[in-house]
Amino acid sequence: MDSGDELRAKFMEFPYVSGSQRNLMVELLSSVDSRLGSSLQPCTLPPDVQHFENPTGSARASLHLRSGLPSSQIDFILGGWIHCELPSGGALNITSLSAYLKPSTDAPHFLLELIQSSPTSLVLILDLTPRKDLILYSDYLKTYYEDTNLDKHRQRLQTLPQVKPYLSPSLYIRAVVSPTAILVCIDTEDDETTNVEDIIRDHVGPIAKELLQFWIESCACLERRVGEAERDYLAERDRIIKTKTIEVDLGSSFPRLFGQEVADRVLDVLKEYYSK
């Protein structure tokens, strides 16, 4: 069986995506390691959940999950990649990084997903997910989204002609993200001078790194005073967010990509972490 270090090295290879996407993911995960590593446990996922594939080998994936130490505000951080050959001849490649905080703080969670289903098209989801109802808690909207001018990242990206708004088919996903969420489709099919790889390197990368930096310093590392009743509220709302994320995102795609048996094995383990 592979050792923890070997499994982590295999995860960090991101073997199926372009150079700029791989570099971005490695840089983001290195930032997490260097700034938050001392607050995190090593990955405790079973080896066959850290790497798995479907029976025919046409779909492969790697997951790396690190829980926060008891003293940390971090619940867990999950990185992953999925590669799946498509019947049409191309491939679907997803790389993601999500980070959840504990109810000891009300600061937003972090979410990044890069979904590439063709060489000329990329869906980008990048957000600091709110932990509270932004209507009932208007201070929260002000503190994390208005006063920080968080919308500037989306505005910057939206100036590119290849970038179009992306609307998730899931109403739950539309409802859970923040009003400054970056949900875009980057399409370079009609563009002979710029490709998706360039746009990741020159535009998506700098924005993702800046947002992760902000999340690390102002959300994960900054202590917030949260009262008892508020903790219960956050814990319950987070429980729903995590249950729904498994159900809507992974639960619907994993059986299709990896077959029911592999999907069940992986999802059962993930559910334990998501429901802690």
Which C-beta is closer to a copy of itself: that of 136 or that of 229? Answer: 136
Residues ≥6 apart with Cβ < 8 Å to 189: 120, 121
- Shortest Å, Cβ 231 to a copy of itself: 15
Which C-beta is closer to a copy of itself: that of 176 or that of 270? Answer: 176
- Shortest Å, Cβ 146 to a copy of itself: 6
Which C-beta is closer to a copy of itself: that of 133 or that of 261? Answer: 133
Extended strands (E) in the chain: 51-53, 59-67, 74-85, 91-101, 109-118, 121-129, 163-165, 182-187
Which C-beta is closer to a copy of itself: that of 86 or that of 240? Answer: 240
CA angle, 235 then 238 then 123, to 5°: 165
CA 233, CA 136: separation in Å to the nearest integer? 13
Which C-beta is closer to a copy of itself: that of 66 or that of 131? Answer: 131
Binding mask 150-179 for a copy of itself (x = CB under 8 A): -x-------------x-x---xx-xxx-xx
CA angle, 92 then 97 then 100, to 5°: 140
Among 2, 6, 48, 133, binds a copy of itself (CB under 8 A): 133
Is the distance from CB of 75 to CB of 272 less than 8 angstroms? Answer: no
Residues recorded for the chain: 276
Which C-beta is closer to a copy of itself: that of 141 or that of 267? Answer: 141
Q: Work out whether 124 is an interface residue with a copy of itself (CB under 8 A).
A: no
Residues ≥6 apart with Cβ < 8 Å to 233: 132
Is the distance from CB of 185 to CB of 123 less than 8 angstroms? Answer: yes
- By CB under 8 A, the residues from 179 to 218 that bind a copy of itself are 179-180
- Shortest Å, Cβ 233 to a copy of itself: 8
Binding mask 6-35 for a copy of itself (x = CB under 8 A): ------------------------------
CA 183, CA 166: separation in Å to the nearest integer? 5
Among 11, 81, 100, 145, binds a copy of itself (CB under 8 A): 145
**What are 239's two structure tokens?**
């429980």
3-state secondary structure of 229: helix
| Total binding residues toward a copy of itself, as defined by CB under 8 A | 24
3-state secondary structure of 251: helix
The contact set with a copy of itself (CB under 8 A) reads 133-136, 138, 141, 145-146, 151, 165, 167, 171-172, 174-176, 178-180, 236-237, 240-241, 244
